[in-house]
Amino acid sequence: MKACSFRIIMQFRLIGSLLVVFVVGILVLVIINTSTNRTHADNFLAGITAPSDRYLKAEVTVNNFNLITDLALTQDQQTKGLAVKNTMNESQGMLFVFEHPSLESFWMKDMKFPIDIIWMDANRSVVYIAPDLKPCPAVGDCPAYVPAKESMYVLETKAGFSHRHDVKPGSQMNFHLLD
């Protein structure tokens, strides 16, 4: 009787050990798969050091239209944003690049012209658009704009850009660093 009980206990321990190994294996696969899904974002900034005295440039393509953008990489560049410019044409913009997906809030303080703000996820797919935003008044409230979904990239363009170029949530953008 004791030998039978011992055998049953050993079988349960073996099954338990196999179950633990199986669960750990599944978790490892999920972690590896998650990290490979984020390589789009990681590869864009691989090995790049942001200069503090100037903006790096990137070409952004959406729906077969190309823009040349300033890259806002440092905290100072991201804080100033497009407030450093007096005007912008249709093929210009500013691309904000964040280290990790998050809910990034933007406002129009100190802006001199209206813009569209387009948020993208780590796979460069549009998750939210705030179109035709006007500069904040010198006195009074200045609202913040934030998407419902996390983003890793934010593109600021001339007002009306998203409408003129049929940019919608789900639209895919491509970009690469210019020399």
Question: Are 31 and 99 members of one domain?
Answer: no
Decide if 108 is inside a domain: yes
Give the pairing type, strands 56-62 and 173-177: antiparallel
How many contiguous H segments (helices) and E segments (strands) does the chain have?
4, 9
Domain carrying residue 133: 50-177
- What is the structure's pLDDT at 149? 94
DSSP state string for 83-118: GG-S---TTEEEEEEEEEEE---EE-TT-SS-EEEE
- What is the structure's pLDDT at 154? 95
Contact criterion met (CB below 8 Å) for 55 and 70: yes
Question: Are 62 and 146 members of one domain?
Answer: yes
- What is the structure's pLDDT at 55? 86
DSSP state string for 42-84: HHHHTT----SSS-EEEEEEETTEEEEEEEE-SHHHHHHGGGG
Question: Are 108 and 64 members of one domain?
Answer: yes
Question: Are 19 and 69 members of one domain?
Answer: no
Q: pLDDT by residue for the chain (179 residues), tens digit each?
A: 555 565 666 665 666 565 555 555 554 444 444 433 333 445 466 667 777 778 889 999 999 999 999 998 888 888 888 888 899 999 999 998 888 899 999 989 888 999 999 999 999 999 999 999 999 988 889 999 999 999 999 999 999 999 999 999 999 999 998 87
Question: Are 96 and 66 members of one domain?
Answer: yes
Task: Tell me the C-alpha distance between 167 and 108, whole Å.
Answer: 21
- What is the structure's pLDDT at 82? 86
Contact criterion met (CB below 8 Å) for 122 and 40: yes
Instruction: Give the number of other CB atoms < 10 A from CB of residue 63.
Output: 12
What burial class does residue 70 get, using C-beta atoms within 10 Å of its C-beta: 0-12 exposed, 13-18 middle, 19+ buried? buried
Decide if 42 is inside a domain: no
- What is the structure's pLDDT at 46? 62
Residue 127 main-chain phi, psi, to 5 deg:
-110, -20
Question: Are 96 and 71 members of one domain?
Answer: yes
Query: Amino acid identity, residue 70?
Result: D
Task: Tell me the C-alpha distance between 113 and 110, whole Å.
Answer: 9
Split into its structural domains, the chain has a count of: 2
Question: Are 33 and 105 members of one domain?
Answer: no
Structure tokens at 107: 């406002």
